[in-house]
Amino acid sequence: METKIIKCPKCNIGLEVKNTRDEAVKSIKCPNCKTPLKVIFRQPQAQQPADPGATILPGMNTPKQPAGGGVTQLGPNPSQPGETQLGSKPGGDATLVKSKLQPGRLFCNGREYPLQMGQNIVGRKNSTKPTTVMLDVNDTYMSRMHILINVEQVGDKLRATVTNYQNTNDTQVAGLPLAKGEVIVLSNNMTITMGETTVTYRS
């Protein structure tokens, strides 16, 4: 199953689109601003011109996934396990993260920080506000309670999402700004930047 990450040209939100039906061109609507978009997965036989409505970010294609992997639906009411609505509020459904029921882990400066099932509050190491995952860094631009990573089981798989928590500094996911209230699905090897520190999520 081919996956592409695009950027809405109107509101600049990052979207992960999966070609669940092996289509040459997939039509979607941006969940944030409702702009109609088309994603080109392969050139159709009729050689239709590429639609300017969707911008494919270079170097961000993800590997094909085996049949039965997570399904993405960019709609307001996901109907199947593993479907997601990007740009939703915390607690919304999210794409299944390929996993063997391991909550995953974060890697930062050569160190590994295991995650646990459920909510993981991640931030700078401190003694006054202990959190689930405290990164051993001296980054004053990273809040002590910066992001929330939620890991939950859906069927026989896990899914993980990230959203801002009680932070006053910037967060980026895969190089794109994470807006207040926005929930992003984490996939294997996706990067999260908090302040001036970048960590890598691995499932």
Both tokens of 173, joined, read: 């996911």
Q: pLDDT higher for 142 or 17?
A: 142
pLDDT at 23: 76
Domain ranges within the chain, ordered by starting residue: 1-67, 70-203
The residue count for the chain? 203
Indicate if the pLDDT at residue 97 is higher than 90. Answer: no
pLDDT at 43: 52
CA-CA distance, 201 to 203, in Å (whole number)? 7
What is the arithmetic mean of pLDDT over 170-182?
A: 94
Does the domain spanning 70-203 belong to CATH 3.20.20.70?
no
The tens digit of pLDDT for each residue in 111-159 reads 999 999 999 999 999 888 889 999 999 999 999 999 999 999 988 889 9
The tens digit of pLDDT for each residue in 51-90 reads 444 444 444 444 344 444 433 333 334 333 433 344 334 4
Query: How many helices (H) and strands (E) are present in the chain, helices listed first?
Result: 0, 16
**Is 15 buried (19+), middle (13-18) or exposed (0-12) by CB count in 10 A?**
buried
Cβ–Cβ under 8 Å, residues 187 and 86 = no
> Residue 42: pLDDT band by 50, 70, 90 thresholds?
low
pTM of the predicted model as reported, rounded to 2 decimal places? 0.52
